[in-house]
Structure 1
């Protein structure tokens, strides 16, 4: 029995020696340039959002903060906190880059709605403006679907904006939410 065990261990060792470096664990993939561009949107931010519910109506203002960090060098994870009409609001935005699709992808959820927004989009050549597309309930009539275009833009090292546009029945892009951010840290 002992000879069988020794033969088994010897065979295993010989197999490992023969395989050599090829048997080593492959290196983990590294974040791409597209992933690295997301890091410029990370940080501690003070925010001011204006929601335009419908043409001619008074905008709803929400002031708050955003904490945005990189997760593993691949994902921007941004948690927002604010107050809208006396009600606390929390939001969570995730954005990454999918090399297989060659597109930026992301999600958005918030504490005052049951919808999960799913994004796909592209960064402009400057690397400072990310445009994402989604579909969801119309802000003017939640019983109808609508197309959305979200634009996250770094204005300078300490200022960024997030603007959400909804496509109208006439095919025009109407701004519905504009958020301005000022870096705190």
Structure 2
């Protein structure tokens, strides 16, 4: 029996939507500065690097960053971001050369379409093999400046910010 497709069903030939266009703001060459609080007992750690973001077709962006990560030294990181019309959510992945864990993102834009909140689960920073809930928040301050903050959901039920990354577009 043949069924008809609706707009909410997955398809192999997705037409770009406005949500995909939002991701294109990320495309370009960037430098970044990171400040991370790896432990409340220690001062913040700082690191720098570069990021190159390109499109894959019209519905995905791929970002590859190289630089330093607090507590890890030199690293390479790759993020994929897209929009899934079926889920009506932004989706993506993140991998880094410093770990074997594959992170999966799912999130949404705020009402003003300036802030993208991406939720994920991954290894807890406590080192006890637990899985924790994380949220990365990408906010555009201007076309050439964006900020990403990373948060972890604490045992107290509150989101705790542990990292801020400032990105500047290369001129």
Q: d(CA) in 2 for partners of 1:165 and 1:106?
A: 17
Structure 1 unmatched ranges of 5 or more: 1-27
Moved over 6 A (4+): none
| RMSD of equivalent CA atoms | 1.4
* TM-superposed deviation, 1:173: 0.8
Deviates more, 1:122-131 or 1:93-102: 122-131
Residue aligning to 2:27: 42
Q: d(CA) in 1 for partners of 2:119 and 2:29?
A: 25
Contact between 1:131 and 1:152, CA under 8 Å: does it hold in 2? yes
Q: Name the larger-Rg structure.
A: 1
TM-score, scaled to structure 2: 0.87
Residue aligning to 1:183: 169
Residue aligning to 1:141: 127
Q: d(CA) in 2 for partners of 1:142 and 1:179?
A: 26
Query: Which of residues 63, 72, 77 in structure 2 aligns to 1:78?
Result: 63
Contact between 1:41 and 1:154, CA under 8 Å: does it hold in 2? no
* TM-superposed deviation, 1:86: 7.9
The structure where strand makes up a greater share of residues is: 2
The structure where helix makes up a greater share of residues is: 1
TM-score, scaled to structure 1: 0.81
**Does residue 38 of structure 2 align to residue 53 of structure 1?**
yes
Q: d(CA) in 2 for partners of 1:86 and 1:120?
A: 26
Count of aligned pairs between the two proteins: 158
Contact between 2:72 and 2:98, CA under 8 Å: does it hold in 1? no
Deviations 1:36-76 (A, max 9, x none): 11011111101011121121312221200010111111111
Residue aligning to 1:173: 159
Matches within 5 A, 1:4-153: 28-84=13-69, 87-153=73-139
* TM-superposed deviation, 1:139: 1.4
